[in-house]
Amino acid sequence: QPDDRGLIGNVPVLRVTRRGPEAVHFVQEAMEPGTEVVLSLDWERRFDHMQQHSGQHLITAIADQLFGFKTTSWELGRQRSVIELDTPSMTAEQIEALEKSVNEKIRERVPVVVRELAADDPEIETVRSRGLPEDHVGLVRVVDIEGLDSNMCCGTHVSNLSDLQVIKLLGTEKGKKNKTNLVFLAGNRVLKSIEQSHSTEKALTSLLKNGPGEHVEAVKRLQSSVKQLQKNNLNLLRDIAVLIARDFKSKPVPSQLFVLHRKEGDSEFMNIIANEIGTEETLLFLTVGDEKEAGLFLLAGPVEAVENLGPRVAELLEGKGAGKRGRFQGKATKMSRRGEVQALLQEFVSQQSPEA
């Protein structure tokens, strides 16, 4: 169970750990020994942990009682908790029966009692336990859910199952070999989850212009429309790439350097242009994406030139790339420096021309 938080006087407690019989508090600033202080507990955090921990004890006991599923470990998470059960799987019917049974016990207002036993008390042998820590000192703490469970535990718990309010089992996830992870919420976390779901539902109702019962179908239709639009956009980009290349090749005296940026392009768009133009004699610098932020680049041309210039282009664009056979492409984080790359390439081409 996570540790408690709060204040010692006015100083925030950052963390609490156990060292043998002592609780060691890590605080935000040094404190004068002997100072009289008031301790303030973060009750919301404490009560949340109490609800989740007692909820785990209850679920563990009922899962064992109904199906013989033993709990091998559990985790109290920040938003949800997980119980590892010693079973390869759980059916939907078993999850439903378990949830129904634990909530019946909550409605029955079953008491939860904490007892302290001597370490040599023979009753300890009858208590469910994973064993004591090696550095344990003093009495042994036992938490009883009346008529259901008796468990050795050092965590904080509610005094009656009615304080749990409600438990919701969210389903299972694949665990370790032959184990199943059961995910659950208890108490106020259920209310928070419902509030979050309701807020999401309201937002979707506003966006999709239909009721909650139609949300799934509406999203499916949107996904289908987006896929078709993406397909159409890709086909148009391919056609544009071919037209750009043909326009360049139709010029009486093609330039030795071809530079192009298109915001909505992609890697395929750039490679189609490079394929159509041909890179035996022309050096191509193509970019796609946001003009001033991140994007993709392609340098294509004579093999020796690309091998020499590719890493320098990536460096100028503050990006990374790789290349082979006359093509060097990658990701750029500073597309705003395309002008510097163009100047570098123009200088290179000028030095290679016969007139230079």
Give the pLDDT score at 283. Answer: 93
Q: How far apart are CA 334 and CA 336, in angstroms?
A: 5
Q: What are the pLDDT digits (tens) for 137-176?
A: 788 999 999 999 999 998 999 999 999 999 999 999 999 9
Q: Which residues pair with 259 in a beta bridge?
A: 285
What are the chain's domains?
Answer: 6-41 (no CATH), 44-131+139-204 (3.30.980.10), 242-352 (3.10.310.40)
**Whether pLDDT at 78 is above 90:** yes
Q: What are the pLDDT digits (tens) for 278-317?
A: 878 889 999 999 888 899 999 999 999 999 999 999 999 9
210-237 mean pLDDT: 93
Cα distance between the two ends of the chain: 76
| Chain Cα centroid distance, residue 20 | 35
Give the pLDDT score at 356. Answer: 43
Q: What are the pLDDT digits (tens) for 327-354?
A: 999 999 999 999 999 999 999 988 876 5
207-229 mean pLDDT: 95
185-189 mean pLDDT: 98
Give the pLDDT score at 291. Answer: 84
Give the pLDDT score at 62. Answer: 98
Give the pLDDT score at 43. Answer: 97
pTM across the whole model: 0.73
Q: How far apart are CA 286 and CA 273, in angstroms?
A: 9
User: Chain-wide mean pLDDT for the chain?
Assistant: 92
Give the pLDDT score at 353. Answer: 66
Question: What is the C-alpha radius of gyration for the chain, rounded to an integer number of angstroms?
Answer: 33
52-72 mean pLDDT: 97
268-272 mean pLDDT: 92
> What percent of the chain lies above the pLDDT cut of 70?
99
Give the pLDDT score at 82. Answer: 98
